[in-house]
């Protein structure tokens, strides 16, 4: 049984994430305890609401240090929605021409989608990266999105011997990053916990990497 911690830094939606992960047969705890967050097989960083507020909440519980230490040791982390966005260098959301600083695990800035209707709310297809482990068995399924901001470019292309990240895309007005598999760091712009059976399969695929 996988031991998973959902980081409880003040973002909403933690209980639905917990319940979805429990459906994979995992033991799931919602906590801010740093030792538990460091020692668990997998750490989930959820996120709803404003980018800057999520970053502040993560910083308040030393989440950036915890995430960094886990990744340095090759220990899996999964970001969801704004929990994915904060992994980039920054965001222009409510920034009045500036950029709110993110955690900087990936280069690039999260900005507003250029779509006639925002937020992007509902089910959408994903152009799945070749060889994706995240989407195994659900490559043709749709997933549930609720957002107005996203990463619209991807610039991290590590050279050998490191494998290139697997980046999956979706479109709402223009293309944006829907999911990333980057070694031990996975993330989705959509909500797998709200995406029915397809979302549960995706979470189960992540849990398989924790052994």
Residue from 175, 209, 202 nearest 80 by CA: 202
**Average pLDDT of every residue of the chain:** 95
pLDDT over 70 at 195, yes or no: yes
**Distance between CA atoms of residues 172 and 192, nearest Å:** 18
In the chain, pLDDT over 70 holds for what percent of residues?
A: 100
Domain count, the chain: 1
pLDDT over 80 at 160, yes or no: no
In the chain, pLDDT over 90 holds for what percent of residues?
A: 91
Q: Write out the catalytic residue numbers.
A: 81, 191, 193
**Distance between CA atoms of residues 85 and 172, nearest Å:** 17
User: What value does the mean pLDDT take over residues 82-99?
Assistant: 92
Residue from 182, 13, 23, 209 nearest 87 by CA: 182
Q: Is the pTM of this model over 0.75?
A: yes
Q: What's the confidence (pLDDT) of residue 95?
A: 80
User: What value does the mean pLDDT take over residues 88-96?
Assistant: 92
Domain encompassing residue 112: 3-208
pLDDT over 90 at 205, yes or no: yes
Structure confidence by residue, pLDDT tens digits, 68-90: 999 999 999 999 999 999 999 99
User: What value does the mean pLDDT take over residues 112-118?
Assistant: 94
CATH number at residue 70: 3.40.50.880
**Distance between CA atoms of residues 196 and 211, nearest Å:** 24
Q: Tell the burial category of 52 from Cβ atoms under 10 Å away from its Cβ (0-12, 13-18, 19+).
A: middle
Contact between 191 and 144 under an 8 Å Cβ cutoff? The reply is yes
pLDDT band at 159 (very low <50, low <70, confident <90, very high): confident
Tell me the CA end-to-end span of the chain in Å, nearest whole number: 9
Structure confidence by residue, pLDDT tens digits, 11-61: 878 999 999 999 999 999 999 999 999 999 999 999 999 999 999 999 999
């Amino acid at each position: 049984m996988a031991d998973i911690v959902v980081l409880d830094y003040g973002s909403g939606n933690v209980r639905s994430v917990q319940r979805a992960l429990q459906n994979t047969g995992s033991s799931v705890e919602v906590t801010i305890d740093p030792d538990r967050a460091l020692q668990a097989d997998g750490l989930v960083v959820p996120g709803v609401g404003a980018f800057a507020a999520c970053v502040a909440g993560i910083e308040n519980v030393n989440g950036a240090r915890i995430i960094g230490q886990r990744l340095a040791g090759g220990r899996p982390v999964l970001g969801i929605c704004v929990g994915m966005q904060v992994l980039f260098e920054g965001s222009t959301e409510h920034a009045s021409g500036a950029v709110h600083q993110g955690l900087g695990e990936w280069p690039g800035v999260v900005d507003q989608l250029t779509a006639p209707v925002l937020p992007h709310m509902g089910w959408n297809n994903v152009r799945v990266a070749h060889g994706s482990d995240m989407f195994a068995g659900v490559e043709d399924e749709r997933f549930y999105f609720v957002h107005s901001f996203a990463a619209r470019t991807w610039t991290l292309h590590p050279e050998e011997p490191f494998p290139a990240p697997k980046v999956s895309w979706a479109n709402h007005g223009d293309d944006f990053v829907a999911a990333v598999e980057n070694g031990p760091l996975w993330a989705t712009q959509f909500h797998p916990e709200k995406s029915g059976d397809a979302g549960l399969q995706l979470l189960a695929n992540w849990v398989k990497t924790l052994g």
